[in-house]
Every structure is written in C-alpha cells, then in structure tokens.
Amino acid sequence: MSMRQLFKVYGHTFQSKSWTSATIYTIEPRNLQAIFATDFTSWGVQPMRLFAFKPFVGKGIMCADGTFWEQSRALIKPTFARAQIADLHLAAYAVHVEKLFDLLPRDGATVDLQPLFSRLALDSSTEFLFGESVGSLSPNTISLDAKSFLKAYDYGQMVVGRRLHLPQWNFLTRDKKFWDSCRIAREFVDSYIEKGQHIVDQAKKGNEAPKRYILAHELIKETGDPDNIRNQLLNIFLPAHEAVGAALTNVFFNLARSPNVYTKLHQEIVAAANDQAPWTFERLKSLRYLQYVINETFRLNPAIGTDTRMALQDTILPTGGGPSGTSPIFVKRRDIVTMSFYALHRRQDLFGDDANVFRPERWETLRPVHWSYLTFGGGPRVCPGQQLALTEVGYTIVKIMETFKGIENRDPVKGFIEVYKITTTSQNGAKVALLPA
C-alpha cells in the first residue's frame, strides 16, 4: 500500500510502533508548522542523515543540527540573499542553456529531456559553486578529471540513498568503490578551492571587483578552513543540481500530456518577448501563467516527496491524536515523524476535487492554507537557494518556448512513475517531440 493510500485509510496523521520507538506519519499543516518552525529546536535530522551523508559530502548544512548547523547556515545564507545574485547568475546560466539547444533535435524527433536537463543543471551548479563548469553538455571537451568526478558522484549518490534507507548497510558490506568515489569527489572539489584561494588572494592585492559570482570564492572570504568549505560546497551541490534537473523534467513531462497548457504558456511568453528586453529575475516572475505551471508541477511532482525528522527531546504535535483525531500527540525523544509532501499536495480538501489533475489554472484563485504547500521546505531550514533554482527553471522554460511552438508526448506510459533516490525523479524521464516555431 502506498503512502498516499495509507493516509486515505488511517487519516491525515497516524502512527506505527516498533519495540523501541514510534514513527508518526502526518500531512497536517499544523503539525508541519510545529516541526519546521514553531517547535523547530525539538526536531533534527543529524541522527538519521549524518551516517549516510558524512563519508560522501562531510558534515554540513544538510545533515547537521544545533550549533554546527546554525554556523553552516549563517555561512551559506548571505550568499543567496543578495538581490543581484539572480541576474548575475542568469547571464552565466544562459550560456549553458545555449549549449543545451545544440543537443535538442529540430526535426520533431523523439528526445528524452531528463538526461539533458540533468547535464544542464550539473554544468550550471558546478560553475556557480566551484567557478568552472564540468562541461557535461560538451562531451567532446569535458576533462578526464570532470568525467571521473561525475562517475564517482553518481555512484556515491546512489549509495548514500541506500544508507539513508538501510543505516546498517555499511556495517554489513564493505564497498571499496563507494569509498573511492568519496575520495575522488573530495579531491575534485579541493582542487577548485585551491584555485579559488589564489583568485581571491590576487583580487585582494589588486582590489579587483569580481567578474561573476562564485560561491566557493565567497566562502573562502568568510572562512579559512578548506575542509569546511569543501563540505559546505558538497552539501549544497547534492540537492542543487538534482532539484533543478528533476523540476525541469517534471514540467515538460506534464506539458507533453497537456498540449493545451503548452500552447497557452507559449502564447504568454511570445507576447512578453516582443519587446526584446532581456529576461531577468523580475521579468520571469511577472509571467503569471509560467508561475502557475511551475507551481502546479511542484505541487504534483515535488522534487523531495517525503521528509523525516527525529524528536531530539520529548515534545508535542498540535493535532492528530485522540478519538476525533484533533487532540495533541505526545512525542517521545527519538521518535520519528515522516511527512509526505506528495500526499499533502494531493489533498482534495486543500487543493480541490481534481487535486490529482495537472491544471495550472487552479492557481488563479488558489491561496493554499499556510504550511500546506511546501516545495522548498519551510522555517529556519527553508532552502536558501530556492529563488536561484526557480530562476533557472523559469528561464529554461521560456527559452524553449521561444524556439518550439508545440510539444508531443512520445512515452507510451502516461502516468508518472516515481524513482526514489535523494530526490524523487521520473522513471521514464520526459520523452517528447519538440515542434519548431
């Protein structure tokens, strides 16, 4: 029985027990608000994630709690909070989108967009984080070091997913390939930190203004600890390229099955493009139907389908207990709560009787109940790079729409089949035909 079916049978909050602890499953907005925000300090991720993540990406913002997490967050957050970052980054991102277009067929042939979007996100995120793209969209020029890093990273990410679900797996199996992959990933990032340190030092001597925004360089300015810099970069790289690649794939997966939506969005973008003004963060945000399409995709196909927290101390969830299911629930230290955003976003009482249907128009009047629509988390742990990610997603959609007037589904399987890794991706990718304007 799927998670969504379990919620239908047992209600919006239910519990299962083992010998030593309990797991509570919830899609109640009030409970999510308590976990993510109002009772934030009672909940953590480190007891569950650190074992899985640390060998691969080190201790960082994704897998730490308490003071260490606060310090990591304080180190990272300002670099994403600067208003100019979105447009500065967009200029560099546009170069990678142009390379993507070189790989898109213009004759109506079938193409799976998923691996191409993944490579686009890889190239963009490595340039933003490390200062140099791995160049995966230019396979004839990619370096051997970059190829080795990507191969190691893919394998390491897969094993981290196993370690998340089977924490004892590492004690039962000695996987030399995994540990080699961890070493290769660390050494690759270390080489860019060394380059970045030299660039930052030279800029200080010459009082040079930065030509572009590179996160590694900003971290070098803030801290002199190369191990901490490497861990923070890898902790951000892990979700950054995965989330953007998955989001773009899911947008075009849905558009291919709703050609009328593609046509309507195409008309909005073509009309807005007539003034020839460059696409900026603000201009992308002003395209209402584009935002509806993105919102609806994140609602139906969230990149992170489930999330978990462990109680770090005895605490209380506001609702879900008692005979009526509305009483508070006592939660013991080390009990776990699992939250399904996939099931939450398909609640008919929150999103309409057609909550299972891809219909961007619902966002014309929909104002989601607070804490019922969580695409980037919420509270102190909300994703610091969400605006950057949304800018990349929006810009890529706009450029494809400017070039291709229509889309056809070329996948015989109509439904979305989830593959659960660190993110939730489409098993069948996004097999489509793009029709030139």
pLDDT band at 128 (very low <50, low <70, confident <90, very high): confident
Q: Within a 10 A sphere around the Cβ of 150, how many other Cβ atoms? A: 19
Average pLDDT for 256-275: 94
When pLDDT is cut at 50, 70 and 90, the band that residue 303 belongs to is confident
Sheet architecture: strand order including 404-409: 110-112, 431-436, 404-409
Over residues 289-314, mean pLDDT = 95
Q: How far apart are CA 97 and CA 294, in angstroms?
A: 18
Q: Has residue 101 got a pLDDT over 60?
A: yes
The binding site comprises 383
Give the pLDDT band of residue 160 (cuts 50, 70, 90).
confident
Structural domain includes residue 249: yes
Predicted local distance difference test score (pLDDT) of residue 406: 96
Is residue 326 situated within a structural domain?
A: no
Strands (E), 274-420: 306-311, 315-321, 327-331, 336-340, 404-409, 418-420
E strand map for 259-370: 306-311, 315-321, 327-331, 336-340
Mean per-residue pLDDT for 71-91? 75
How many distinct helices (H) and strands (E) make up the chain?
17, 12
Give the domain extent around 202. Answer: 39-302+345-436
Q: How confident is the model at residue 3 (pLDDT cuts 50, 70, 90)?
A: confident
Q: Is 277 exposed, middle or buried (0-12, 13-18, 19+ CB in 10 A)?
A: exposed
Q: CA distances (Å), 221 to each of 121, 132, 204, 374, in order?
A: 25, 18, 10, 33
Positions at the binding site for heme: 383
Give the separation between CA 223 and CA 225, rounded to whole angstroms.
Answer: 6
Q: In the numeric block, which tokens belong to residue 243?
A: 């989330």
pLDDT confidence bin for 433, thresholds 50/70/90? very high
Specify whether the CB–CB gap between 321 and 329 falls below 8 A.
yes
Instruction: Flag whether pLDDT at 170 surpasses 60.
Output: no
Indicate whether 27 belongs to any domain.
no
Q: Give a yes or no: residue 314 inside a domain.
A: no
Identify whether 336 is part of a domain: no
- The Cα 321–Cα 341 span in angstroms is 20
The pLDDT of residue 168? 58
| pLDDT one-digit tens code per residue, 219-256 | 998 887 899 999 999 998 877 778 899 999 999 999 99
Coil, helix or strand at residue 413: coil
- pLDDT at residue 288 tops 70: yes
Kindly report the average pLDDT of the chain as a whole number: 89
Provide the token pair at 7.
């919620």
Give tens-digit pLDDT for 129-157.
888 898 999 877 778 888 888 888 888 88
Phi, psi of 408 (to 5 degrees): -130, 140
Please report, for the domain that includes residue 181, its CATH number: 1.10.630.10
Q: Give one word for 429, left, alpha or beta, with left for phi > 0 and alpha for psi -120 to 50.
A: left
pLDDT band of 108, cuts 50, 70, 90 = very high
Whether 26 maps to a domain, the answer reads no
Say if 13 falls within a structural domain. no
Contacts of 294 (CB under 8 A, 6+ apart): 247, 251, 390, 393, 394, 397
* CB-facing half-sphere around the CA of 311: CA atoms within 13 A: 20
pLDDT-based confidence at residue 90 (cuts at 50, 70, 90): confident
Domain assignment present for 155: yes
Tally of domains within the chain = 1
